[in-house]
Amino acid sequence: MKGLLPRLIKRILGGIVMILVVASFTFFLIHLIPGNPVEAKLMQLETAGVTPLRAQIEVQAMYGFLPHQPLDIQYIHYIWQILHLNLGQSITYAGVSVTHLLLEAMPWTVITVTSGIIVSFVVGILTGVIIAVYRDRGISNALTLFSTFLHGIPQLILALLLAFLFTTIWPIFPFGSPYDAVLTPGFTLPFIGSLIWHAVLPVAAYAISSYGGWALTMKSSVISVLGDDFILASELRGLKPRIRIGYIARNAILPLFTTLTLSIGFMFGGSVFIEEIFDYRGLGYMLITAVGNLDYPLMAGSFLIITVAVIVANIIADFVYTAIDPRIRT
């Protein structure tokens, strides 16, 4: 309990170090790519008739560093720009800053990924409890089979299947961008409605692909907790069923939080496929676009922002875990 603030500060500092490590990694990755995209861009501008000085200024604006400076100076310059939240300019969307592009795309991915995780976690856990509690009955076997089946389908295939079924065969749900283009973003009913309508398929893809895993993990967790001495004791002490279910649920959900933490990173990784398939303009979509167009600033920026999201999510998950498990606190 005590020392929560120092712990938080420690975790945040650790997170910042991690972010800088990833940023450094992407910096050197760009330098390792054969053909050096920065040099190539400089050459391209110069052959297009831009004066060398002008070309240098443009390239610096784009990448945050100049290719002719020594590597360490370039590196320091790059990190310095990141610390000022300046991620350079996009090549695909010429003249638009990467920070701006990513900030536009980020909410959609965060909303869909988070909703997907919450829906699959809640539904999966409830299914797991039902499977465990009624494990002598037919319903339990049916649910286990169903969950195992869903767990076995790769996310990519599932997303393709959903897109095919619900936007082509039965076009019930819209395809593409996070909301209807005619609407202006804001807290208006049509806008939020449109947002939800567009998010249904991506969220369903995230949720269905991870639901089976939660159900099966929760099932075994509940069964193991049901065999614990204190659960038998609570029955023989005549505790009310409501209170006993609370005891079982809290103890069974606990080990799943570790998996939840890991799944956050996995889900953000999955957004690359899912947003591409549904043409949903979020971070994953940005990353694919950047890769396709050799847009290195946008690529580096996307990597960085996904890293930040995963690290922040992990810190939050870690603190939630601390709040629900007293054994971690002492």
Rounded Cα–Cα distance for residues 50 and 146 (Å): 62
Does the protein bind another protein through residue 240 (CB under 8 A)? yes
CB of 264 to another protein, least distance (A): 23
Nearest CA to 117 out of 225, 268, 306 is that of: 268
Q: Would you say 172 or 324 has its CB closer to another protein?
A: 324
Q: Would you say 235 or 279 has its CB closer to another protein?
A: 235
CB atoms within 10 A of CB 286: 30
Rounded Cα–Cα distance for residues 17 and 138 (Å): 52
CB of 324 to another protein, least distance (A): 7
Rounded Cα–Cα distance for residues 162 and 201 (Å): 7
Q: Would you say 68 or 329 has its CB closer to another protein?
A: 329
Among 20, 153, 254, 288, binds another protein (CB under 8 A): 254
Among 3, 49, 186, 238, binds another protein (CB under 8 A): 238
CB of 328 to another protein, least distance (A): 10
Long-range contacts of 177-186 (CB under 8 A, 24+ apart): 177/279, 177/280, 177/281, 178/108, 178/280, 178/281, 178/282
Q: Would you say 40 or 260 has its CB closer to another protein?
A: 260
Site for another protein in 207-236 (CB under 8 A): 228-230, 232-236
Q: Would you say 72 or 229 has its CB closer to another protein?
A: 229
Site for another protein in 306-325 (CB under 8 A): 324-325
Q: Are 87 and 23 in contact (CB under 8 A)?
A: no
The answer to whether the Cα torsion of 35, 40, 269, 306 is positive or negative is positive
Among 243, 245, 316, 320, binds another protein (CB under 8 A): 243
Please work out the total of residues on this chain that contact another protein, with binding judged by CB under 8 A.
22
Q: Would you say 119 or 231 has its CB closer to another protein?
A: 231
Helices marked H in the chain: 4-32, 37-47, 52-63, 71-83, 98-133, 138-152, 155-163, 189-226, 229-236, 241-277, 283-292, 296-324, 326-329
Among 85, 168, 187, 237, binds another protein (CB under 8 A): 237
Residues at the site binding another protein, with contacts judged by CB under 8 A: 228-230, 232-240, 243, 247, 250-251, 254, 324-327, 330
